Amino acid sequence: MSGRPRQSRSTIVIAANSCWNIVNFRAGIIRALRKNGYSVVVVASRDKYTPMLSAIGASFVHVQINSAGASVAQDLLLTWRYMRALSRIKPAAYLGFTAKPNIYGSMAARVAGAKVINNISGLGTVFIKQNILTSLVARLYRVSLRGSSTVFFQNRDDMELFVNNRLVRFEQAALLPGSGVNTNYFKPEVARRSPGPFRFLLVARLLWDKGVAEYVEAARLVRETHPNVLFQLLGPAGAINRTAVPGYEVERWQSECIIDYLGATDDVRTAMSQADCIVLPSYREGLPRSLLEGSAMGKPLIATDVPGCRDVVEDGETGYLCEARSARSLAQVMLKMLAMPAAERSTMGSKGRRKVEHEYCESIVISKYLAAIMGDDR
């Protein structure tokens, strides 16, 4: 007897910090796993999206996660919660998404005898600002990913950072084209563009690291010469994150008529279809979904020249890149976009659409996951 729990060879666990993440980004994988004969159990914190899991074919086990917490005691408790849940489920494979499920959930999955497949979708604030916490998190990744079968990365910069710092072995690492985009769902002309002024749109959680401050300041600069241009902001506020934008700042920008805040939505297509250009001045990304979705809908892009963003945007072809943390550089490329004839912007958007179809389609992501689960990781 090995002492390991007997596995359910047809059960796959998908773990993330929230059901929101699963419903919005992993539904396609769940449906594909179900189609291939697997049962799927989502392990995450309960939220308002939890009831939607059954509609996409997954059952649910609640594990409370404090995503922004840095307490050793809480993280030890989280590891124990994962071990208790996975010892009962006995999955054949564990698919980890987001930081804490990738770290603590992977450790527990190894104890449960499951095949571990991780997705490092982005390195977040900890790796943007190098400090003692960065070193600690890097060590945790090194330990937790040691036994993983495959560690997927969404851009080459992140993969090389982990390999070069020996957080993962070269043979474990593989590139994945983001979460994949359903190009039948995100497509041009979801809704006819209504008349009105030029619209820039930033779609993101309201975090300073997404470049929200630079977007607002660039709006001020552009409107000095183009006062009628609209600068829209779409995304959830009130995130439990040390870089969250306070609500009073958004209210102030609105009162000054600098930003048009659209709130949050589960369907970004309407707002994107009404925009003329999708913007993301982020400090670092895995593979930004808002840019991929914008391209799939035929919109030209503006983003920072940082890991993740530069993978999606071909400068001068599907959009423009600007300097990170520079409102002036962002404003300059916005003015460049405004000066382009509409036909040229349309051509940019069409090139972006083709790029997504060929490189970032959801079917590509699903096939790579199925290969990793079934054993053909390469």
Distance CA 42, CA 16 (A): 8
Q: Regarding predicted confidence, which is higher, 5 or 171?
A: 171
Phi-psi region of 287 (alpha: psi -120 to 50; beta: other; left: phi over 0): beta
Residue 128 has pLDDT above 80, yes or no: no
Residue 240 pLDDT class (50, 70, 90 cuts): low
According to DSSP, residue 246 is labeled: P
The per-residue pLDDT for 64 is: 92
Chain centre to alpha carbon of residue 366: 16
Tell me the per-residue pLDDT of 36-91, one tens digit each, with 9 for 90 and over.
Answer: 999 999 999 999 999 999 999 999 999 999 766 667 788 899 999 999 999 999 99
The per-residue pLDDT for 237 is: 82
Tell me the per-residue pLDDT of 278-295, one tens digit each, with 9 for 90 and over.
Answer: 999 999 898 999 999 999
The per-residue pLDDT for 4 is: 44
Q: Hey, what CATH topology would domain 8-180+362-374 get?
A: Rossmann fold (3.40.50)
Residue 3 has pLDDT above 70, yes or no: no
Contact 200, 279 (CB under 8 A): yes
3-state secondary structure 138-152: HHHHHHHCCCCCEEE
Quick one: which of 241, 35, 245, 298 has its CA closest to 125?
241
What values do phi and psi take at 265, rounded to 5?
Answer: -155, 155
Beta partners for residue 59, in sequence order: 41
Mark out the alpha helices in 168-276 (DSSP H runs).
Answer: 212-222, 247-255, 269-274
Contact 106, 118 (CB under 8 A): yes
Beta partners for residue 173, in sequence order: 151
Distance CA 180, CA 28 (A): 9
The DSSP element (H or E) to which 373 belongs, if any, is: helix 362-374
The per-residue pLDDT for 2 is: 37
Domain boundaries, the chain: 8-180+362-374, 199-359
Tell me the per-residue pLDDT of 316-363, one tens digit each, with 9 for 90 and over.
Answer: 999 999 999 999 999 999 999 999 999 999 999 999 999 999 999 999
Both structure tokens of 157: 């910069």
Distance CA 280, CA 333 (A): 12
pTM for this prediction: 0.85
C-alpha to C-alpha distances, 70 to 75, 99, 126, 134, nearest whole angstrom: 8, 12, 11, 12
Arithmetic mean of pLDDT over the chain: 90
Both structure tokens of 313: 């945007």
Tell me the per-residue pLDDT of 148-205, one tens digit each, with 9 for 90 and over.
Answer: 999 999 989 899 989 998 999 999 999 998 888 999 999 997 667 777 899 999 999 9
Please give the CATH number for the structural domain made up of 199-359.
Answer: 3.40.50.2000
**Helix, strand or coil, per DSSP, at residue 169:** coil
The per-residue pLDDT for 125 is: 55
**Helix, strand or coil, per DSSP, at residue 74:** helix
Both structure tokens of 337: 């976009």
**Helix, strand or coil, per DSSP, at residue 268:** coil
The per-residue pLDDT for 242 is: 76
Quick one: which of 84, 138, 90 has its CA closest to 115?
90
* Pairing assessment for the beta strands 277-280 and 58-62 based on DSSP bridges: unpaired
Comparing 76-80, 126-130, 142-146, the range with the smallest average pLDDT is 126-130
Distance CA 142, CA 148 (A): 10
The per-residue pLDDT for 273 is: 94
CA angle 295, 28, 266 (to 5 degrees): 60
The DSSP element (H or E) to which 93 belongs, if any, is: strand 91-97
Distance CA 370, CA 40 (A): 13
Contacts of 81 (CB under 8 A, 6+ apart): 63, 64
- What is the average per-residue pLDDT within 131-136? 70
- Count how many Cα atoms sit within 13 Å of the Cα of residue 197 in the half-sphere of its side chain: 11
Residue 105 has pLDDT above 60, yes or no: yes
The per-residue pLDDT for 168 is: 93
Cβ atoms < 10 Å from Cβ of 220:
15
Quick one: which of 288, 293, 292, 245 has its CA closest to 268?
293
Q: What share of the chain is helix, strand, coil (3-state, %, to 5)?
A: 45, 20, 40
Cβ atoms < 10 Å from Cβ of 94:
29
Fold: same for 8-180+362-374 and 199-359: yes
